[in-house]
Structure 1
Amino acid sequence: MSVTFSPDGEKIASASADGTVRLWDKKRTELTVLRGHQDAVNSVSFSSDGKQIASASDDGTVRLRLVAGLSPHPSRCQRY
């Protein structure tokens, strides 16, 4: 799994074993869940300008997504 901060420090992207990438704000509010990979996502990274997210999966694919326009899906992150 992988976690990365956006260049401006306002957002966090996390890779998940369930094949999703989750986008959070710095207050631990989940903004959206990005689906599409068919296996665990093992790497996620923001572009240097913070406008795109790249994710790589054990399914052998890499996906690029634009951050702008991602639909919000608010929920709170649990502390572990």
Structure 2
Amino acid sequence: MKKVTMFYLEGCPHCKKAFKMIDVLKEKKPEYENVQIEKIEESKNAHIAETHDYYYVPTFYVDGVKIHEGVPSLDKIEAVLKSAI
């Protein structure tokens, strides 16, 4: 399983949607259950966020490669989970 890192902001409505989409996908598709996501709150971990090249949240990296940035959709979040397997 590849390492997944997610950058988010607590008050971000798109980030909240992404979290819900992750839960829905893990519930519907058992192959995603074991995908672990390191969640990094950008404002509380600025020193980590500054080492990554992104502008919008949520942003997902899989093994250090940016897979998604910005407004989530179910298809885009599923692509992140698929790439982690």
Does the TM-score normalized on the shorter chain lie above 0.5?
no
- Which one has the bigger strand percentage? 1
- Which one has the bigger helix percentage? 2
